[in-house]
Copies of this chain bind each other. A is one copy, B any other.
Amino acid sequence: MSDTQLLICGKNFKQEERDRLSAAFPAAFVDGPADIAALDAGLRASLRAVAFKGHTAFGAETMDLLPQLGLIANYGVGYDAIDVTAASARGVKVTNTPDVLSDDVADLAVALLIAQARTMIRGHAHAASGRWATEGEIPLNRKVSGSTVGIVGLGRIGREIADRLAAFKMDIHYTSRSEKETPGWTYHADVVSLAKAVDFLVIALVGGPETKGHVSRAAIEALGPRGVVVNISRGSTIDEGALLDALEAGTIAGAGLDVFENEPNLDPRFLKLDNVVLQPHQGSGTVETRTAMAVLQLDNVAAFLEGRDLLTPVN
């Protein structure tokens, strides 16, 4: 039997993040949940906490490989890769890293929206290539301020996005599980009604099975030919095939996307579009925020292993 109580699970951990965790507690490391079965049985029997980073499934079978498991501490606010129901059934707590990343994700959402409407990718290529001098101006594009935006999911991140867009004099509409207290924003009970009412539709849902395909083909159709989709949540929250159909056919105006269904392997149809701004799931990808997320994950691990209250439990 080993003394090692912590497993660092995720090949995307930066070296300094692994070092920070290992400095606090003796730790083993695996690339992902699929590699846990191959660990020495004595080590598996000693592991009490997993520091997890990634988007591959962490399910019941994996949990059952770790008989002493008491905590899965997720790096990120979205823990849809972890089967929380299975964890709860086994008395395993799950934590995430909310709040510390909301600002960054909201910043990127706003910039995706403006960059799409103002054709900034094209603008940059035009200026940076020298074509501005030889070919003249780019076509006029589209005003953002004063338009109408629909926020799909007015949680922590959705609220941050709405607060920012309100400063652009935008008329804020939203959906959420129930009507919220807002400064006069317009609640819609369903996403089709929301999409029909707005110019820009910004998706800020949690991921997971409950929200899979929530922004449906019908919602995308309701958005109409001037409509723009912005998604900074999870690729799963929108019917991606319907989105691609609409972008290709021009039945909506465009999209600004940080997340995709099979990321990082994007549907190749995305790569041929000129009405999109694409980002490589970097919503929380700043030095400042990733450090804050890593520290919060470690603080949850430490709280658990040292018998204190968890900071940000989700179950």
Contacts and interface: CB of A to CB of B under 8 A. Distances in A.
A214 to B, nearest CB: 23
A153 to B, nearest CB: 19
Contacts of A136: 264
Interface centre among A118, A263, A270, A289 (most CB of B within 10 A): A118
A130 B277 CA distance: 14
Interface of A: 12, 103-104, 106-108, 110-112, 114-115, 118, 120-121, 123-124, 126-130, 132-133, 136-138, 140-146, 163-164, 166-169, 263-266, 268, 270-271, 276-280, 282, 285-290
B169 A167 contact: no
A166 B163 CA distance: 10
Contacts of A290: 140
Contact of A286 (B123, B137, B142): B142
A48 to B, nearest CB: 30
A128 B163 contact: no
Nearest to A104: B143
A169 B127 contact: no
Contact of A132 (B128, B129, B263): B263
Nearest to A167: B167
Contacts of A268: 130
Given A118-B111, A137-B12, A282 B163 contact: no
Nearest to A144: B107
Q: How many copies does the complex hold?
A: 2
Contact of A129 (B120, B129, B271, B289): B271
Contacts of A108: 114, 118, 120
Nearest to A110: B114
Contact of A143 (B126, B276, B287): B287
Q: Pick the 8 closest A-B CB pairs, nearest first.
A: A167-B167, A103-B145, A111-B114, A127-B278, A143-B288, A132-B264, A143-B286, A123-B279
B167 A104 contact: no
25 contacts: A12-B137, A103-B146, A104-B144, A107-B118, A107-B143, A107-B168, A108-B118, A111-B118, A111-B120, A115-B115, A115-B120, A118-B286, A120-B279, A121-B124, A123-B282, A124-B277, A126-B280, A127-B278, A129-B271, A130-B266, A132-B263, A141-B285, A143-B286, A143-B287, A143-B289
Contacts of A146: 103
B167 A123 contact: no
A114 B124 contact: no
